Amino acid sequence: MGKIGAISAARDAASAAGWPLADDLRAEFGHVSTWVFDLDNTLYPADCGIWPLIDQRITLFLADLFGMDCQSARALHQHYYLRHGTTLRGLVEEDIDEAERFLEFVHDIDRSMLKPNPALAREVARLPGRKLIFTNGSRNHAILTARQLGLDGLFEDAFDIMAAGLTPKPEEAAYDAFFRRYSVDPGKAAMFEDVAKNLVVPRARGMKTILVTPKPGQDDHRQAHDRPDPLVAASLADVVTDDLGVLLRRLNDALG
C-alpha cells in the first residue's frame, strides 16, 4: 500500500472506530491552552468502586446528623441530590453549617482499589498548557485520588466546592468563581466531565466540551439521572469518549 493509501486506511480505521480524526481534533482543540478536568468518574472509571464508597458515606453522614435509619437517610440523600444538585448544597440551603465535617467524612475512604494509570498520566503531562481539576468534592479528595492514580504533580491546582463558595457545578456561579480564580479564558479552555449537565455552562461560555462515559457493558455507579441521554450528550459535548486516555493520546498526537 502506498503512503496515501496507508493514510487513507488509517483515517478509515479511526473513523470506523468512532474516533475524531487528527485534522478535526487540531481544528477543534488547536486554540486550547487550559485543560479542565472533573475528578470523580472522569479521571477514574465509573466502575472502579470509588464512587459507591463516597455515596454510602454521604447517606451515613445524613443518618448520623439527623438520627435517621439508613433507608430514610438514603431517601433524603436522593431528595437533596435531585432538588439541589448535591447533598452538601441541600445542607447549605437549610442553613446546616456542616460543610467541612461533611467533606472530611464522605471522602474518608480506602482508595487502594483504584489502580495507578500511567498511560493517562503520560497523556495529561503531554497536553500543551495548564491543567486544572474542578470538582464538587473536596481539594483533599482530589489530591489523594490524583496521587493514587499516579497523576500527582500534573495539575496546577484542584478547585473544590469550598473554593466555589459551596456552590456546585452545574450552577453558573461555580464556573465564574473558577474562571476568576485562575484567570481562565473559557474561549481557550476545554472541560472534561462525566455529567452532561455540567457541560451546559462550559459550552455556553465557549469552552470545548468532552463527555467521558463508561465503556459499553461497564458498571455505572453514577446516579441514574447523571447518565446522559445520548441525544442530550451529543448536543452538549464536542467529543464523547469512553476512553479518556486514548482520546488524550489522539489529541496530543494531533496537536504535537
Beta bridge partners of 240: 211
Distance between CA atoms of residues 39 and 186, nearest Å: 19
Distance between CA atoms of residues 250 and 244, nearest Å: 10
Q: Taking CB under 5 A as the rule, does residue 220 contact Mg ion?
A: no
**Mask for 154-193, x = binds Mg ion (CB under 5 A):** ----------------------------------------
Of residues 88 through 117, those in contact with Mg ion by CB under 5 A are none
Cis peptide before 170 (omega within 30 of 0): yes
Closer of 63 and 149 to Mg ion (Cβ): 149
Q: How far is the CB of 101 from Mg ion (least distance, A)?
A: 22
Closer of 52 and 128 to Mg ion (Cβ): 52
- Pick the binder of Mg ion from 123, 160, 194, 238 (CB under 5 A): 194
Of residues 29 through 58, those in contact with Mg ion by CB under 5 A are 38, 40-42
Q: How far is the CB of 125 from Mg ion (least distance, A)?
A: 22
3-state secondary structure 110-169: CCCCCCCCHHHHHHHHHCCCEEEEECCCCHHHHHHHHHHHCCCCCCCEEECCCCCCCCCC
Output the nine-digit C-alpha cell for 8. 487513507
- Residue 191 three-state SS: strand
Closer of 38 and 123 to Mg ion (Cβ): 38
Q: How far is the CB of 71 from Mg ion (least distance, A)?
A: 26
Q: How far is the CB of 3 from Mg ion (least distance, A)?
A: 42
Q: Are 214 and 184 in contact (CB under 8 A)?
A: no
Q: How far is the CB of 194 from Mg ion (least distance, A)?
A: 4
Q: Are 79 and 62 in contact (CB under 8 A)?
A: no
Chain residues binding Mg ion by CB under 5 A are 38, 40-42, 194
